[in-house]
C-alpha cells in the first residue's frame, strides 16, 4: 500500500492534525518564524491599543498570515532541498536563496505598509502627550 492509499483511509480531520503539527514544527525549529510570531504579537497589541479601523485590521491580518505562510513555504523548500542533497550544489543554493528572498521582499513590504498604518496613530499619540 502506497502513501496516498494510507492517507485516503484516514478521516478528513486528520489533515488538520498534520497541518497543526507542521505549524508547531516550524515554530519550534525556525528562529525566523519565532521572530515573526513575536513581531505579530507586537503588531496585534498596537492594533488593539490604537483601535485601528476595520480595513486596517484586514490589511494587518492579511500581512501577518501571509508572512507566516511564506515562512512555512520557505522552510518546506529548505527541508526538501536538504532531503535531496547534503552536498553543495549551486541550484540547491539558488532554490533556498530565492525562497528566502521571497520572505525578505514580503517582510519589507509588510513593514512599509505597517508604517503607513501606524505612523499616523503614533504621531497623534505624541501630539496628545505634548499637549498634556
pLDDT tens, residue by residue, 60-114: 999 999 999 999 999 999 999 999 988 899 999 999 999 999 999 999 999 999 9
Confirm or deny that 53 is annotated as ligand binding. Answer: no
Residue boundaries of the structural domains of the chain: 12-131
Helix (H) or strand (E) holding 56: helix 54-84
Between the CA of residue 16 and those of 6, 13, 20, 23, 127, what are the distances in Å? 16, 5, 6, 11, 47
Quickly count: other Cβ atoms within 10 Å of residue 46's Cβ: 16
Whole-number pLDDT of residue 11:
86
71 catalytic? Reply is yes
Kindly state the average pLDDT of the residues 33-59: 98
Three cell numbers, residue 110: 509588510
C-alpha cell at 129: 502627550
CATH code linked to domain 12-131: 1.10.287.3610
pLDDT over threshold 60, residue 127? yes
Region 31-37: mean pLDDT is 97
Q: Which of 5, 71, 87, 130 is catalytic?
A: 71
Through-space distance between the first and last CA atoms of the chain, rounded to whole angstroms: 73
- Known binder of ligand: residue 97? yes
Q: Is the pLDDT of residue 4 over 80?
A: no
Say yes or no to pLDDT of 131 above 90. no
pTM of the full structure: 0.87
Confirm or deny that 71 is annotated as ligand binding.
yes
Amino acid at each position: 500500500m502506497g502513501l496516498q492509499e494510507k492517507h485516503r483511509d484516514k478521516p478528513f480531520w486528520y489533515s488538520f492534525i498534520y497541518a497543526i503539527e507542521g505549524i508547531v514544527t516550524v515554530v519550534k525549529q525556525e528562529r525566523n518564524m519565532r521572530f515573526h510570531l513575536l513581531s505579530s504579537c507586537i503588531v496585534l497589541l498596537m492594533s488593539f491599543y490604537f483601535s485601528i479601523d476595520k480595513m486596517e485590521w484586514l490589511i494587518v491580518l492579511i500581512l501577518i498570515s501571509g508572512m507566516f505562510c511564506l515562512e512555512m513555504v520557505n522552510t518546506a523548500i529548505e527541508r526538501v532541498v536538504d532531503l535531496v542533497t547534503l552536498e553543495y550544489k549551486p541550484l540547491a543554493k539558488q532554490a533556498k536563496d530565492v525562497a528566502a528572498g521571497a520572505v525578505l521582499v514580503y517582510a519589507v513590504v509588510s513593514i512599509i505598509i505597517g508604517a503607513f498604518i501606524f505612523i499616523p496613530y503614533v504621531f497623534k499619540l505624541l501630539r496628545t502627550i505634548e499637549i498634556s
